[in-house]
Amino acid sequence: MEYINNTPSGVSGSGVVNKILCCECGVPIEPNATNMCVPCLRSHVDITENIPKQAVIFFCRNCERYLNPPSEWVQCSLESKELLSVCLKRLQGLRQVKLVDAGFVWTEPHSKRIKVKLTVHGEVMNDVVLQQVFVVEFTVNNQMCDDCHRTEAKDFWRCMVQVRQKAVNKKTLFYLEQMILKHKAHDNTLGIKPNPGGLDFYYATDAHARKMVDFLQAVLPVKVTSSKKLISHDIHSNSYNYKYSYAVDIVPISKGSLVCLNKRLTQQMGHIAPVCLVAKVANSIHLIDPQTAQLAEVQNMAFWKTPFEAICNPKQMVEFIVMDVEIMRESERKAFPGQGPVSMRHTLADVWVVKSSELGINDNTIHVKSHLGNLLKPGDSVLGYDLRDANVNNADFEKLNPDTVPDVLLVKKSYDKTVRKQNRNWKLKHLAEDVAVDTDIENEYNEFLEDLEEDPELRQNVNIFKDKNKQIPVDTNDMDDPSLPRITLEEMLDDLVLEDEEMGDG
């Protein structure tokens, strides 16, 4: 029998720690509140007795997500922090102890077993803190999530956003596709289905569909119509199950279209000429008068309040040959009170042109006032509208005085399409890669690519990628024409595709 001094905590007057014998096994230990050694204390007290050593987690094989109770499905990779958080939430007894450390114990990936090694602290008799390390084994059970279940039942969507444009030219839809890709507005979609007049986006929740509608309203002038359809109704809980649909109509005009404005609208926009060109379709409609280079902007609400249609579309443009160009002096430009802003990117000029089909047959030149004076020179080809032969069926156009309507309106300079297509060393991505494209849509898409090359402001909203499959030779046919619009390498992004690289290495 050993003596125990009354000095607190087993410390003698000389500072030496006195030891006692364990009341169970008799091993010398330092004094503590239980008078037991650690092995004996563990044999009597188990701080992990309320923590299950086996548990079950659920995994969806279709979408490869784990169930995070009560109803959330999260994407987790093996031995990740997200998966560890899901596993720890399945252990209810962890609230009674203090978790110090947690980590995975390696298991074979296809064993459907996940082992987690835990280190916990627990307080036992008379304020004694005991540390214990143990392993919890989780069994992975397969369970189909609600989204995949609806997909298998062909009832996978709850909300649909239908984007349509009733226009002859689809350049506005091509621009919208690139805006969606740049801002990743399609991340929450369950599926995207192309249609002849636009695109259909399918969503699982109404919030994601409304977010898409808000994005469309921010980037383009659109009109939104919503509707809902009753799928089921529970009379006992008074709950309803609806399917929502949003119809988004884009303005039926595109860049390069010729429009005719009514008298009231021309007065509101600085007395611009009634017949003007569409310079750009963004969050608003940008118009320009080719004869005075005056600009105007039509907002979304103003357009749908007094809508107007295109009297001529880009497909109706005729090619002309420039015979002579004379830049107009400042004194020749007639300004009037209340005139709207004038474009600083364009130069007014008197241009004399001849139709390409009549060159050498009819030498009657046509005098045109154009805003392309900084681009045109004698011998160039230019595209424009010949209103003398155009069949226009528009009430506002018929009210105009024929003497005030110009015979020809020039739209843009024409370049060799074959050379531009061969020397194009860049590409764009698409929402749906496996869509059959006919000849008309391909021509319209090439016109959209040409607009990107000619308009630097339009390229700011588009992600342009380098095309590694195309190599431009040094000696090209267009080197003699420095005015040919190009996209520099600084504006292009590297297209990184990890799957292709891994397949190539194999």
Tell me the pLDDT band of 6, cut-offs 50, 70 and 90. very low
Ranking 10-24, 115-129, 233-247, 375-389 by mean pLDDT, the lowest is: 10-24
pLDDT at 3 over 50: no
- Please state whether 256 falls in left (phi above 0), alpha (psi between -120 and 50) or beta: left
Span 294-308, average pLDDT: 91
Higher pLDDT, 382 or 187: 382
pLDDT at 87 over 80: yes
| Bridge partners (DSSP) listed for residue 260 | 275
**C-beta of residue 494 within 8 angstroms of C-beta of residue 466:** yes
Tens-digit pLDDT profile for residues 341-357: 888 888 999 999 999 98
33 Cβ partners below 8 Å, 6+ apart? 125, 126, 127, 128
The predicted structure's pLDDT at residue 153: 63
Cα 375 to chain centroid distance, Å, stands at: 35
d(CA 302, CA 72): 44
pLDDT at 11 over 60: no
**CA proximity to 261, closest of 249, 247, 246, 272:** 272
pLDDT at 105 over 50: yes
How many helices and strands (H and E) does the chain possess? 12, 25
pLDDT at 132 over 60: yes
pLDDT at 15 over 70: no
Domain ranges of the chain: 25-146, 157-250, 257-414, 421-491
The predicted structure's pLDDT at residue 472: 52
pLDDT at 301 over 60: yes
Tell me the pLDDT band of 471, cut-offs 50, 70 and 90. low
The predicted structure's pLDDT at residue 288: 93
pLDDT at 181 over 50: yes
Residue type (1 letter), 334: K
Span 53-77, average pLDDT: 89
Tell me the pLDDT band of 482, cut-offs 50, 70 and 90. low
pLDDT at 222 over 90: yes
Phi and psi dihedrals of 173, rounded to 5?
Answer: -70, -35
Higher pLDDT, 239 or 124: 239
74 Cβ partners below 8 Å, 6+ apart? 65, 66, 68, 82, 86
The predicted structure's pLDDT at residue 205: 87
Tell me the pLDDT band of 506, cut-offs 50, 70 and 90. very low
**C-beta of residue 59 within 8 angstroms of C-beta of residue 111:** no
pLDDT at 336 over 90: no
d(CA 221, CA 301): 8
The predicted structure's pLDDT at residue 89: 87
Span 476-497, average pLDDT: 66
The predicted structure's pLDDT at residue 252: 92
By CB atoms closer than 10 A (0-12, 13-18, 19+), residue 243 is middle
Percent of the chain predicted with pLDDT > 90: 30
d(CA 157, CA 149): 11
Q: How many CA atoms lie within 13 A of 279 on its CB side?
A: 20
CATH code, 25-146:
3.10.450
How high does pLDDT run on average in the chain?
A: 83
Tens-digit pLDDT profile for residues 409-450: 999 999 888 888 888 888 888 887 655 566 778 888 888 888
Instruction: Give DSSP secondary structure letters for 398-417.
Output: HTS-GGGS-SEEEEEEE--H
pLDDT at 38 over 80: no
Instruction: Annotate 346-357 with b (16+ C-beta within 10 A) or e (fewer).
Output: bbbbebbbbbee
Span 299-317, average pLDDT: 90
Higher pLDDT, 494 or 84: 84
pLDDT at 100 over 50: yes
pLDDT at 126 over 70: no
| Bridge partners (DSSP) listed for residue 393 | none
Tell me the pLDDT band of 226, cut-offs 50, 70 and 90. very high
The predicted structure's pLDDT at residue 438: 67
